[in-house]
Structure 1
Amino acid sequence: MSPSQPRIRVAVVFGGRSSEHAISCVSAGSVISALDPAKYEVVPVGITTEGRWVLESNEGGRLALGPAGELPTVTGDREVTLSPGAGLVVQDAGDVPTSLGEVDVVFPVMHGPWGQDGTLQGLLELAGVRYVGAGVLSSAVGTDKAYMKLLFEAHGLPVQPWVLVRPGAWERDQDAITAAVDKLGYPVFVKPARAGSSFGISRVETAGDLADAIAEARRFDPKVIVEAGAVGAREVEIGVLQGRGGGDPETSAIAEIRVDAEHAFYDFEAKYLPEQNTGIELPAELDEATAAEVRGLAVQAFRALDVEGLARVDFFVLPDGSVVLNEVETMPGFTATSMFPQMWAASGLAYPDLVDRLVQLALDRDTGLR
């Protein structure tokens, strides 16, 4: 970018009301630090846990995890509003509102409900603002594990057997749900349908522990799914990026997650706390046929969800060698230890270049029906 060209204004939006508020903050801090200040002018907009939009600090380091795992949060007090046409207005308590001017694109580094689930994307579409990542429908379906699985099954994509526990259903017919889960075979995993970062997930070994696991999941979401455990499976992940100029989606190197024995599964601590002994094989040691299947299924899932921009696609490789689709993350974590940036770095696309590409993809597409 030449000195005479104005910098691209990027509003990085993060935080929010979901249980993943802190992880969104950490992801945003990394994104802010990666945006080249010679090319981009960053406007950091935090959403508090109560849902207020505020102007936040522009220092990415403030949003990092603390040395003992302390979680950051949005703390700004200068309220921000978004007007049609991408204008931002800030107001201090008791002062006259001040325009921050228009932004060229929004980078919504949001995880979970009230941000990643199509709600924020819908607001940006209404305001006519370009934004990074998946659109309204794919964001909504990609956040709801039940509808995601239904869509994958409709497209003939392999998923683990599962049972849906709708809000209030456990109280109405506990015996029927228990019987349905029994048919899955134990162990099972009980999950909030619309939460991430492994919040509220339990591994259940016997029917006697099912009620407590459902209660734990419902602390995060009244809608719960129960999945058959992929016993003895290898957990692998792959990154997908939207192709340039309408080209085919591109896939990254494949990674394998190996969780330390003290964790029953890939939980929050194993994902985000650096002192945990989570092993990562990058690239994963897969035979050529299995790697090709993972890549092919990842692109199929990306297209089935009609994702734009980016996604991380997670799989199980079962002991018999078959590959099963676990889930698609339409806004995967962007922390220093997050797999999506690591997989692309291993593929030759460094973190700052990855962020730059996502912004450019957003700038290249219009809002509205497409």
Structure 2
Amino acid sequence: MSKRSVAVLFGGNSSEYEVSLMSAASVLSNIPTDRYQIHMVGITKEGQWIYYTGPVDEIQNGVWCEHPDNRLAWISPDSTAPGLMVASTGGNRLIPLDVVFPVLHGKNGEDGSIQGLMQLAGIPCVGCSVAASAVCMDKVYTNMVLDSAGIPQAKWDWCHVSDYRSSPREILDRVEKLGYPVFVKPANAGSSVGVGKAKDRASLKACIQEAAKWDQKLLFEEGIDGIEVECAVLGNQCPIASVVGEISPCNEFYDYEAKYEADSQLFIPARLPEETSELIRQTAVKAFRALDCSGLARVDFFVRRSDGAVLLNEPNTIPGFTSISMYPKLFDASGLPYPKLLDRLLGLAMERTGR
């Protein structure tokens, strides 16, 4: 059986560039090389695409973009010859592709941009469609869909940054109705970038100023005193849910540092009653289908301490794939090891497009 040609995209013009490098290094180290011919494509912070042939361990430490054999590259939008164009001394070279795995977190990778390019190019792409990616990236749109599907979540509100700047008192008064503490989030960012926890009016103003650096639309959510748990979902028309994992953040909440740089504790399976874990699994699949996801998503929840209520926090359509990330760990605990998980994800992408 001939190998499938897969391009793994990493880096990106995003605030989550470094996270992508960590995820990509893990993915590249675990894709079954007996089944796939791997092509590494790095995207710099400035947005330049590079065909990379150096060592995988130089990706995570960030020196990959200085490799002497790097060549400019780009995805050809011509769907009659789907593939990767690589600049070579004798002229541009086309590398045919069977599938692309965008290990790109945040804007320009998780928001439908890359997915739209692959759709134009006629190349199967791991993960969600253009529409589902865009909706799940935008926390305000996500919450609207979840509300319409009857999925419980924290009380929330939102505004454009321009609204706040023109009428700050009105926005502050409205947000304070959620009660303190309140979380302030950029509507379009991941890995908790720009997220703040406000405990009074002064800190609310500061959190808004910080979140506004990352997006022009802001989400406000009531603070939930609860256990933070996550569930991984895998599939297309008939998705399945993993076991539930529990996070005990080392910081006040599960921020960027707690996710990638510090020693938060993970409990797999979560320390929850079986009926609560099953409700989380069912709700994760329900949300996955309501948002029209495909391939994969990690769905995050709170279990409120006061009454045990399960509240959906947010979905993530390209979750972290680092060595400490929950998505691969959850499926490993569910009986699907990392290499087989990646093989399944690549297969689901090709299955969705009839390859």
If the length of structure 1 is used for normalisation, what is the TM-score?
Answer: 0.90
> 227, 235, 240: which is aligned to 1:234?
227
TM alignment of 1:321-336, pairs within 5 A: 321-336=308-323
Contact 2:243 2:281 in 1 (8 A): no
Which runs of 5 or more residues in structure 1 are unaligned? Answer: none
Paired with 2:341 and 2:63, the residues of 1 have a C-alpha distance of 24
The residue identity in structure 2 corresponding to 1:88 is L
Q: Which residue of 2 aligns with 1:23?
A: 19
> 164, 171, 190: which is aligned to 2:165?
171
The CA deviation at 1:98 is 2.8
The CA deviation at 1:63 is 2.2
Q: Which residue of 2 aligns with 1:162?
A: 156
Q: Which residue of 1 aligns with 2:272?
A: 286
Contact 1:13 1:108 in 2 (8 A): yes
Q: Which residue of 1 aligns with 2:199?
A: 205
Contact 1:253 1:283 in 2 (8 A): yes
- Root-mean-square deviation (Å): 1.7
Paired with 1:144 and 1:74, the residues of 2 have a C-alpha distance of 30
> 248, 261, 264: which is aligned to 2:252?
264
Runs of 4+ residues over 3 Å off in structure 1: 71-77
Q: Which residue of 2 aligns with 1:12?
A: 8
Tell me, yes or no, if structure 1 residue 126 matches structure 2 residue 113.
no
Q: Which residue of 2 aligns with 1:142?
A: 136
Aligned-partner SS, 1:184:
coil
> 317, 330, 336: which is aligned to 1:343?
330
> 248, 252, 257: which is aligned to 2:242?
252
Tell me, yes or no, if structure 1 residue 56 matches structure 2 residue 56.
no
> 205, 208, 211: which is aligned to 1:214?
208
Q: Percent identity?
A: 43
Relative distance call for 1:204 and 1:57 in structure 2 (3 A) is farther
Aligned-partner SS, 1:239:
strand
> 20, 27, 33: which is aligned to 2:29?
33
Q: Which moved more, 1:112-121 or 1:165-174?
A: 165-174
The CA deviation at 1:73 is 6.8
Paired with 2:90 and 2:171, the residues of 1 have a C-alpha distance of 56
Paired with 1:142 and 1:222, the residues of 2 have a C-alpha distance of 17
TM alignment of 1:345-364, pairs within 5 A: 345-364=332-351
The CA deviation at 1:25 is 1.5
Aligned-partner SS, 1:194:
coil
Aligned-partner SS, 2:341:
helix
Aligned-partner SS, 1:168:
helix
The number of equivalent residue pairs is: 349
The CA deviation at 1:74 is 4.5
Deviations 1:288-337 (A, max 9, x none): 22112101110110001111100100000002111000001011000001
Deviations 1:82-139 (A, max 9, x none): 22232222115xx443314201100011111111100110111011111111000000
Q: Which residue of 2 aligns with 1:106?
A: 100
Paired with 1:330 and 1:74, the residues of 2 have a C-alpha distance of 26
